[in-house]
Structures are given as C-alpha cells and as structure tokens.
Amino acid sequence: MPTHIEGDLVAGDHQFAIVVSRFNEFVTEQMVDGALNTLERHGVDPEAAVTVVHVPGAREIPVVAQRCARSGSYDAVLCIGAVIRGATDHFDYVCSGVSSGTLQASMDTDVPVIFGVITTDTIEQAIERAGTKAGNKGRDAAAAALEMANVMDQLPG
Ligand code: INI
C-alpha cells in the first residue's frame, strides 16, 4: 500500500494572511467575507489567526504575498482579487502578472500561496463568482489554504 498524504480542512494552530486588492472592491469584499467565513467554520479564530492586507490592485498582490510568505509568520497566504476585462488591454498584463507572480512567491518561499483571483470578461461573471450563481471563489481559496497548510505539515523537509 502506498503512503497517502492529504490535508484535512482543520484550523490547527495555523496562521493565515489574506492579501486583497481594492480594485473592483464590490466583488473582492464579498470574496474576503466568504474566505473569512469558511476559515471560521473550520475552526480558525480570525482575530488570533488571520491578517488581512489591502493593496490597490491585483498587480500589487504578488509582492505583498511574497513578503507575507517569506516572513515565516503564515502557514498559507490567500490572494484575493478580481480582474475584469472591460475594454482595456491592461487586463492581459494584470492577469499574467498576478498569476505568475503569486506562483513565483509560493515556489520561492515554500509556502502555499493560494490563487483566489478571478479573471472574467464581464462584471456579471465576476459577481457570479463572488457569492451568487457560481459560488464564492473566496471560500474556495480558504478551503485550499486550510488543506495546503495541513499537507505541508506532513511533508518531509
Ligand atoms: N486591477 C485589478 O485588480 N483588477 C482590474 O480589473 C484591473 N484593471 O482592469 O485594470 C486592475 N488594474 C490595476 C492594477 O492592478 C494596478 O493596481 C495598477 O496598474 C497600478 O500598478
């Protein structure tokens, strides 16, 4: 029988940082609420174990996520943002920057950096992913953070 390692969705004594962008805040606020609620429902005490860092836009998320991850103070970092295409080419640059930047932050620090950034063509699609028809991607990010914090605890090295 192989050894299986998987993470439970339990708080343990883990610490979490949430990095959230203000751009499209009517969406990102809902996602942070969802993330906090999910963490709490799995036993995390937000006052003792969650720090929320606000940044201007998704483009600014990676550097702050990296700083949080590198600090050694957090077991997982949740990145929450909403990039909406609208009528600008800016969209593609912001999307690729936040996606590769958060991945790099995770790889460079060995800390799970969870990608809870939604990228959509329209405002309607963003709203659907922030607590309406398509769930709440902030909740999904919180579940991934819990699971990954517990996976990392069990891995060698
Ligand atoms: N930032 C977002 O978080 N979402 C967007 O949809 C967005 N658009 O479309 O422009 C956006 N732009 C701002 C960017 O993230 C930076 O804050 C800005 O470029 C300053 O560095």
**Whether the predicted pLDDT of 68 surpasses 90:** yes
* Structure token pair of residue 26: 């009517």
Residue 52: HSE in the Cβ half-sphere, 13 Å Cα cutoff: 18
Report CA(88)–ligand 1 centroid distance (Å): 10
Nearest C-alpha to atom 13 of ligand 1 is from which residue?
A: 57
Is 24's C-beta closer than 6 angstroms to any atom of ligand 1? yes
Nearest C-alpha to atom 21 of ligand 1 is from which residue?
A: 59
Model pLDDT, residue 129: 96
Model pTM score: 0.97
Does 42 participate in catalysis according to the annotation?
Answer: no
Mean pLDDT along residues 86-91: 78
Work out the mean pLDDT of the chain and round it to a whole number: 96
Is 76's C-beta closer than 6 angstroms to any atom of ligand 1? no
* Structure token pair of residue 109: 């620090």
Q: Which of 23, 29, 77, 30 is nearest to 50 (CA)?
A: 77
Is 64's C-beta closer than 6 angstroms to any atom of ligand 1? no
Instruction: Write the pLDDT tens digit of every residue in 89-143.
Output: 789 999 999 999 999 999 999 999 999 999 999 999 999 999 999 999 999 999 9
Burial of 24 (0-12, 13-18, 19+ CB in 10 A): buried
Model pLDDT, residue 157: 85
Probe residue for ligand 1, chosen from 83, 85, 96, 125 as the CB with the greatest number of ligand atoms within 8 Å:
83
Is 80's C-beta closer than 6 angstroms to any atom of ligand 1? no
Model pLDDT, residue 90: 87
**Whether the predicted pLDDT of 47 surpasses 90:** yes
